[in-house]
């Protein structure tokens, strides 16, 4: 080859901030604060405050390569840290506050973070864990100056630090696009949390791709409210995707209950939102109870767990809102596939097209390759029926976990997601299970996701969880745990009768239990806990 003769401008997050300040300076950012206020400013304001924050971080001694941690909700201050820390060449370690104490401590210690920014909500956990932290030297409370409380850790105040810095220009350092920008840990449902270190290049390419019409399809007319957490895989990249596309940004802080979502969606004219299914279950229940309207809301991206078909259908038929299912993981920045229509799908007719969109995790997107392999690693046919292990690769897929000696991807770059899936000839992917959740019964497999999807459509059901437990004859059999909507009562007979027309006989759960369904730190059904709790249900042990 001969060298190309074009510029090699690095793909870094500061470029997004500079772009949005020049292109969309007056587009609004609206944030709830933990104090309960609504904070309004714009992208020019974000850029100005981020520069001051960057100066303050330098004064605190943050250098290129240093890790700075947050325990924080979806607010404008957290957003400012998203740009200031990586902009300085540092790494933002967004810690999931829903983890257990020892996991939070593990993450902070493993990342060797030196500064910890936290919201008032997390003051108790910070004070509890501070004596055991060996690397964090500086604590900063992200509150209004008047509401400051240094607590037992002698915290500095975020607003006081920013206010002390001048308004003038700031020379962002020139960065290597392959340098680390964000350090996100998986939730650690099995073993210790694992660190995934996103490079600037991965974050920028991911954000450029996610905005495309084939994916989120955002324009400068959109008002976007991320209800996926900033601490979980960078809220699916929305803090970068929105400025690239000139979208107004609405940040809900920790208020993700139905009534609070409804309030912001209608008051701010939100057109596009995203979050895990449990959030939208609460939102739909609220609309149902109050007869409220969705306002300007047009599209919602839902992922993290399988989207119940009934949820997508209700959004479309009752509220005129299009649901785009997405699949991804911390290890893929996180976007893998998005379920958007194509001409080939539309040609099948609206009902058929809806059926595909509502029951698939999404379709292939440029930048992330997918393949399905059998137990011997041989590629499975793309027939929509043959399931196998889902492997992915591409410029925003993990190569190696943080501080591990071995690659997580194989020599060709393929990373095994731990999911079982099918792929079809139109490029649509369907997850049938996580490999560890597959129910093996009499030599056959039952998809817990499919069973849950049918069960959650039963009137009165809020959450349905299906998992396998040991059985003396069949190795494993499925159990169904149901958490009903508030004030609703259901019987086992009703639920089984509802399932009957949808499933083959041997898929029928051996028992139905009515109980609260435990969720993980990232809002997924915690099957590990369920399997342990009901381990002896069918063996009588």
Query: Which amino acids are annotated catalytic?
Result: 186, 331, 440, 445
- Between 165 and 447, name the residue whose CB sits nearer to ligand ADP: 447
522 belongs to the binding site for ligand ADP (CB under 6 A): yes
Q: Which of 73, 118, 283, 327 binds ligand ADP (CB under 6 A)?
A: 327
Cα dist from 532 to 87, 159, 469, 528, 537, whole Å = 45, 46, 9, 6, 10
**Region from 61-69, 174-182, 323-331, 502-510 binding ligand ADP, contact rule CB under 6 A:** 323-331
- Paired with 475 in beta bridges are 441, 471
Convert 167-196 to b/e letters by CB count within 10 Å (16 or more is b).
eeebebeebebebbbbbbbbbbbeeebbbb
334 belongs to the binding site for ligand ADP (CB under 6 A): yes
238 belongs to the binding site for ligand ADP (CB under 6 A): no
Q: How far is the CB of 494 from ligand ADP (least distance, A)?
A: 27
Query: 78 by DSSP, 3-state: which?
Result: helix
Site string for ligand ADP, 356-395 (x = CB under 6 A): -----x----------------------------------
- Between 258 and 303, name the residue whose CB sits nearer to ligand ADP: 303
- Between 186 and 389, name the residue whose CB sits nearer to ligand ADP: 186
Please report, as residue ranges, which positions from 283 to 322 form the binding site for ligand ADP (by CB under 6 A): 303-306
Alpha carbons 164 and 127: distance in angstroms, whole number: 26
Q: How far is the CB of 372 from ligand ADP (least distance, A)?
A: 14
93 belongs to the binding site for ligand ADP (CB under 6 A): no
237 belongs to the binding site for ligand ADP (CB under 6 A): no
**Region from 35-43, 68-76, 83-91, 414-422 binding ligand ADP, contact rule CB under 6 A:** 414-422
Residue 200 Ramachandran class (φ > 0 left, ψ -120 to 50 alpha, else beta): alpha
Please report, as residue ranges, which positions from 112 to 171 form the binding site for ligand ADP (by CB under 6 A): none
With contact defined as beta carbons under 8 Å apart, do 520 and 187 qualify?
A: yes
- Between 155 and 326, name the residue whose CB sits nearer to ligand ADP: 326
| Residues found in the chain | 541
- Between 191 and 540, name the residue whose CB sits nearer to ligand ADP: 191
Q: How far is the CB of 329 from ligand ADP (least distance, A)?
A: 3
Q: How far is the CB of 438 from ligand ADP (least distance, A)?
A: 12
- Between 165 and 448, name the residue whose CB sits nearer to ligand ADP: 448
Q: Which of 103, 114, 187, 389 binds ligand ADP (CB under 6 A)?
A: 187
Alpha carbons 183 and 66: distance in angstroms, whole number: 11
Please report, as residue ranges, which positions from 214 to 233 form the binding site for ligand ADP (by CB under 6 A): 233
Contacts of 185 (CB under 8 A, 6+ apart): 95, 96, 107, 110, 111, 193, 194, 195, 196, 330
Two structure tokens written together for 124: 């108790």
**Region from 30-38, 324-332, 343-351, 439-447 binding ligand ADP, contact rule CB under 6 A:** 324-332
- Paired with 251 in beta bridges are 31
Query: 312 by DSSP, 3-state: which?
Result: helix
Alpha carbons 525 and 57: distance in angstroms, whole number: 38
Q: How far is the CB of 270 from ligand ADP (least distance, A)?
A: 21
Largest CA distance in the chain: 74
- Cβ count near 94 (within 10 Å): 26
With contact defined as beta carbons under 8 Å apart, do 491 and 69 qualify?
A: no
Q: Which residues bind ligand ADP (CB under 6 A)?
A: 186-187, 233, 303-306, 325-330, 334, 361, 417-419, 431, 434, 520, 522, 524
């Amino acid at each position: 080859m001969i060298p190309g003769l074009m510029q090699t401008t690095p793909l870094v997050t500061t470029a997004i901030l500079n772009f949005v300040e020049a292109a969309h300076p007056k587009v609004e950012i609206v944030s709830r604060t933990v104090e309960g206020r609504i904070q309004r400013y714009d992208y020019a304001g974000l850029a100005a405050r981020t520069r001051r924050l960057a100066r303050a971080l330098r004064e605190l001694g943050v250098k290129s390569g240093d890790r700075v941690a947050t325990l924080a909700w979806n607010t404008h201050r957290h957003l400012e840290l998203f740009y200031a820390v990586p902009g300085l060449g540092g790494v933002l370690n967004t810690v999931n506050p829903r983890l257990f104490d020892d996991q939070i401590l593990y993450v902070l210690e493993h990342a060797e973070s030196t500064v910890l920014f936290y919201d008032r909500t997390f003051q108790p956990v910070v004070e509890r864990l501070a004596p055991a932290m060996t690397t964090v030297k500086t604590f900063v409370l992200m509150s209004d100056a008047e509401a400051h409380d240094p607590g037992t850790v002698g915290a500095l105040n975020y607003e006081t630090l920013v206010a002390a810095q001048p308004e003038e220009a700031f020379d962002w350092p020139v960065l290597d696009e392959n340098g680390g920008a964000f350090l996100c840990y998986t939730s650690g449902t099995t073993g210790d949390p694992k660190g995934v270190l996103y490079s600037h290049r991965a974050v920028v390419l991911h954000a450029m791709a996610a905005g495309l019409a084939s994916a989120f399809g955002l324009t400068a007319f959109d008002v976007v409210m991320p209800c996926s957490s900033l601490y979980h895989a960078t809220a699916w990249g929305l803090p970068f995707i929105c400025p690239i596309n000139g979208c107004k940004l609405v940040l809900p802080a920790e208020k993700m209950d139905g009534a609070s979502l409804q309030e912001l969606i209608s008051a701010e004219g939100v057109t596009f939102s995203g979050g895990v299914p449990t959030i939208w279950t609460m939102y739909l229940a609220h609309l149902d109870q109050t007869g409220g309207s969705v306002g300007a809301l047009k599209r919602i991206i839902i992922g993290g767990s399988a989207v119940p078909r009934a949820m997508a259908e209700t959004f479309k038929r009752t509220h005129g809102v299009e649901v785009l299912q997405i699949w991804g993981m911390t290890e893929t920045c996180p976007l893998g596939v998005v379920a958007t229509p194509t001409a080939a799908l539309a040609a099948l007719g609206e009902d058929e097209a809806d059926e595909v969109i509502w029951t698939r995790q999404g379709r292939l997107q440029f930048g992330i390759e997918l393949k399905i392999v059998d137990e011997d690693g041989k590629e499975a046919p793309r027939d929509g029926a043959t399931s196998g292990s889902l492997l992915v690769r591409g410029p925003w897929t993990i190569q190696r976990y943080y501080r591990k000696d071995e690659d997580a991807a194989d020599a060709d770059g393929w990373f095994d997601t731990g999911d079982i899936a099918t792929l079809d000839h139109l490029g649509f992917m369907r997850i049938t299970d996580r490999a560890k959740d597959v129910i093996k019964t009499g030599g056959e497999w039952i998809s817990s996701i499919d069973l849950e999807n049918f069960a959650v459509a039963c009137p009165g059901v809020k959450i349905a969880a299906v998992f396998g437990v040991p059985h003396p004859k069949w190795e494993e059999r499925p159990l169904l745990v149901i958490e009903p909507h508030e004030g609703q009562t259901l019987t086992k007979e009703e639920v089984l009768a509802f399932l009957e027309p949808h499933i083959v006989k041997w898929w029928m759960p051996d028992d139905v239990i009515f109980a609260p369904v435990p969720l993980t730190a990232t809002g997924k059904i915690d099957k590990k806990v369920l399997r342990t709790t009901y381990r002896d249900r069918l063996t009588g042990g």
